Amino acid sequence: MTAKLKTAVLGATGYSGLELTRLLGRHPRTDAPLLLRRSAETADSNGHGLDLPHVPGNGSGRGDRTLQPFSWSALEQHGVELLFLATPHAISRELVPEGIARGLRIVDLSGAWRLKQEQNRAIYGFKDANARTAAELTERAVYGLPELNADRIPSAALVANPGCYATSVILALAPLLSNGIVDRDRGIISDSKSGVSGAGKEPTARTHFVSVADNFSAYSLFGHRHTGEILEQLALSSCQLTFTPHLLPIPRGILSTIYVYLKSEMTAEEVQSCFQKFYAGKRWVRVFPPSSLPEIQFSVHTNYCDLGFCVARDGLRLIVVSCLDNLLKGAAGQAVQNMNLMYGWDEGEGLQ
């Protein structure tokens, strides 16, 4: 029997980290992951030890899901080959250089290594211990959107998992922009709405129940961290895209409504063909027929990104609707999809 891949998850107590732990625990080609905690995480708010007793092992009979303190020696002792980081951006930026130097492969769910351009990366305010090494790793990191970079991910040592909003917008626009049918100079508008889990597990005044329930609000106008990802991956300038995120009073899910002008008149059938050809063979993107639009409820708890559209009667204006689960296709599911590509497995392994 072929030995199973040994993985570890640092940050398993967060929303994305917990989803990732569940997926790896049932993946047919991985052992139950080693669960690690940062040294600062010693107990929960009630003073209890950090553990995940409700997360099963991968048929191993191992019932102990207690998080161990992170150390490089723990990874070496357990024979870990692939490390998942579901950590704050600054932590990932700090750990990755040594992890790569030690020969580990890494899938990072934070924004630490997604951005190549300094003006976009500046929003994170990273202070690298070794600027030269950080610059080299920034160039080596592969943006882990399989539908665009499936040819580069298999050989990558460092995969930067995309942001959830960015995934929804990039997948909606990539077929149109690559075919040169969008009038970029007239501007692209994306109104994107996310469930509360997209803000992470650490509570804030904005994400408390009293603030979220029976409410709907915009935030981070002209300043959201995922904007740079969208610009870089789609080769857009900042003046060509207006991206506005909103907070929905639901636990999970993203719906992006994207408005574009076309260079010349197009029919719904022509737009449909553009999407279908671009995503032919891409199992985790579902293109809806012109007569219907995706909804959050269709993609939540799956790794699908659902795309639908409507062409105006003049044939020159197009609205694209993109839906996905921010914790799966927008985070943990996409991380597993990237792992599958890195090791030459089918992209659907462990995600059905």
The whole-angstrom distance between residue 324's C-alpha and the CA centroid of its chain comes to: 10
Contacts of 83 (CB under 8 A, 6+ apart): 7, 8, 10, 75, 99, 104, 105, 106, 107
170 φ/ψ angles, rounded to the nearest 5 degrees? -65, -45
Angle at 252 between CA 328 and CA 301, to 5 degrees: 45
Q: Which of 164, 274, 305, 323 is catalytic?
A: 164
Could you tell me which residues are beta bridge partners of residue 174? none
Distances, alpha carbon 143 to alpha carbons 13, 163, 168, in Å: 24, 10, 15
CB 324 within 8 A of CB 164: yes
| Nearest partner of 191 among 211, 169, 171, judged by Cα | 169
- The answer to whether 164 is a known catalytic residue is yes
For residue 182, the cross-strand partners are 262
Cα–Cα distance list, 277 to 41, 82, 268, 311, 334 (Å): 47, 33, 14, 18, 22
Compute the distance between CA of residue 289 and CA of residue 308 in angstroms, rounded to an integer.
Answer: 7
Do the Cβ atoms of 326 and 336 come closer than 8 Å? no
Q: Which amino acid is at 266?
A: M
CA distance 62 to 198: 31
Report, as residue numbers or ranges, the catalytic residues: 164
